[in-house]
Amino acid sequence: MSHNEYDLAEAFQRIENELIASMIRNMDRHRAEETAEGYNWSMWQAEQLKALEKYKCKNWKKYQKQFKSINSQIEQLIRQARLKGGVKQELKILQAIRKGWRTHGRNGTPAHDAMTAEFFKLNDRKLDALVEATMHDMEAAETAVLRKANDDYRKAIFNAQVYANTGAGTYEKAVDMATKDMLSRGLNCVMYANGARHTLADYADMAIRTASKRAYLQGEGEKRQEWGIATVIMAKRGNPCPKCLSFVGKVLIDDVWSGGSKDGVDPETGKRYPLMSYAISKGLYHPRCKDSHTTYFPGISTADDTWTKEELENVGLQSQQEVRQQYTKRQEEKYSRLAEYSLDPDNKQIYGRKASEWRNVRFKTGNLDASDYIEQKREEQFFGMPDEITDEWTKKNMDGSLIDMKEYDVNGVTYKVDGKRVTLHPTEQERSVAAVLSKKYGKIVEFVPQIMYPQGIQTPDYLINGERFDLKTFKSSGKNVFYNMIAKKKKQSPNFIFDITECPLSAEEIERQINGLYSSHHTRFIEKIVVMKDGKIEKVYMRK
């Protein structure tokens, strides 16, 4: 399964927690000997320094392997983002053509083909440079977190005696005072240009998101370049970033990713628009930016860069609320670390109470804070009844087509059909169902090759309008027949076509089992389900 930014950031967070936990275990295991004159700190320090050397060697061997594995996943994620951006953008362009956007099509002259080839070579170099820069920065941060853990351990060893001499009392309290600063801030091993220090997990989250977004935008831009359009519009959403607000809703010439003209003139309409490069120089697409742009099709798209006074006030309020929520989260994480890793029972209790207070910022929802309440409601909706989108999905907006794919990309690796390791032999039923979807419902159906070697790579049966779908045929009965058929298909596809032509179950039982799939945590990967019978679509479901 391909990982996302959340998975990778959590992996780094687990490593940081393990480094801290191992350090505290050593201090708890090798305690200072208490004599009539007090604690023998000199002997304890000697033992701890020996433990520190073992700690350093063990961590270097253990985590270098983990970092290498995570870094390979980061590279795959970035390259996948570029492919995803290209696929989704081409689908949007085709939809615009159906709505009436007039294009001159793809220029097939030798000169244009040569320019296009050079363009893609340039983009490949840009992507390689992005991957290389991200990997270099991540490797530096990974080395820094190990050094930071070693430095903080060494500092705690010597500070424990200092705090004991100032009246800390027990061994546990002295160690807690020596480690309090580290536990309060975490292993903040990365320093930004503005002097702010961040943990590896926080930095990784920012770096991976930023690189993935740039790769995605590059993939989108390549498709615009192919179709000869470079105008984009910044999406207008309810809570734009303050830095990006001045560009939200505006039309721009994308001279960064789509090959737009540097003079800012749209060759199709002759109108002049601001350049994307200028917007970026003024703060657009800053790290962790949530804003995005989409293609602006003259005559079809509508631009709206006006804001009411009330809307601007709401933007300011929402920005302040987001800052408060981030602060609350940091405080909760701080006291949770102190509660978990402090040795003194009284300190554990005090910090645990503070963590609970920050976690439960009370308001009308009872004992849930705002973020918990929102998350709970989102989960209730996510695992609730699916939406039925039958009318929307079955509406024929264009002539469909059937395509035999000659190659297929998995995690950034391209597998080409060779008849042995990669084969393409759709079954008679798969072709029959695809023909119905194409001819009757206007879908672009691509038959996906099957990868025989390397083993373990699962592929869907189809790409339908760019989305992965797998065909399942039901001929038996049982209260869990639908669940058993797809529970382990997470790597294969998030979307399914259920052919129930020969299914003996009643319509009510089929609907009950499908609703059960959407309410089960084990099948949370499911997005769309298309139910077919006798060559006709009965219903189409989509997760809310």
Side chain identity at residue 60, one-letter code: W
Please give the structure tokens belonging to residue 106.
Answer: 């793809």
Query: Hey, is 133 helix, strand or coil?
Result: helix
Averaged pLDDT for residues 164-192 = 85
Evaluate if pTM is beyond 0.75. Answer: no
- Residue 413 CB contacts under 8 Å (≥ 6 apart), including other chains: none
Q: Does 445 have pLDDT greater than 90?
A: yes
Please say whether the beta carbons of 448 and 405 come within 8 A. yes
Beta strand 444-447 with 401-404 is parallel
Please say whether the beta carbons of 518 and 386 come within 8 A. yes
Please say whether the beta carbons of 530 and 496 come within 8 A. yes
Q: Smallest Cα–Cα separation from 369: which of 379, 356, 384, 382?
A: 356
What pLDDT does residue 204 have?
92
Q: Smallest Cα–Cα separation from 298: which of 102, 98, 89, 88?
A: 102
Residue with tokens 């909760």: 332
Please say whether the beta carbons of 376 and 60 come within 8 A. no
- Note the pLDDT tens digit of each residue in 289-325: 888 999 999 888 888 778 788 878 888 877 777 777 7
Averaged pLDDT for residues 98-114 = 61
- Residue 416 CB contacts under 8 Å (≥ 6 apart), including other chains: 406, 407, 422
Residue ranges of the chain that CATH labels 3.40.1350.120: 387-542
What pLDDT does residue 358 have?
79
Averaged pLDDT for residues 243-268 = 90
Phi and psi at 108, nearest 5°, equal: -105, 15
Residue with tokens 């701890």: 48
What pLDDT does residue 362 have?
41
| CB-neighbour burial class of residue 456 (10 A; exposed 0-12, middle 13-18, buried 19+) | exposed
Per cent of the chain over pLDDT 70 is 89
d(CA 291, CA 283): 11
Which of the pair, 413 or 451, is modelled with greater confidence?
Answer: 451
Fold of 387-542: Trna Endonuclease; Chain: A, domain 1 (3.40.1350)
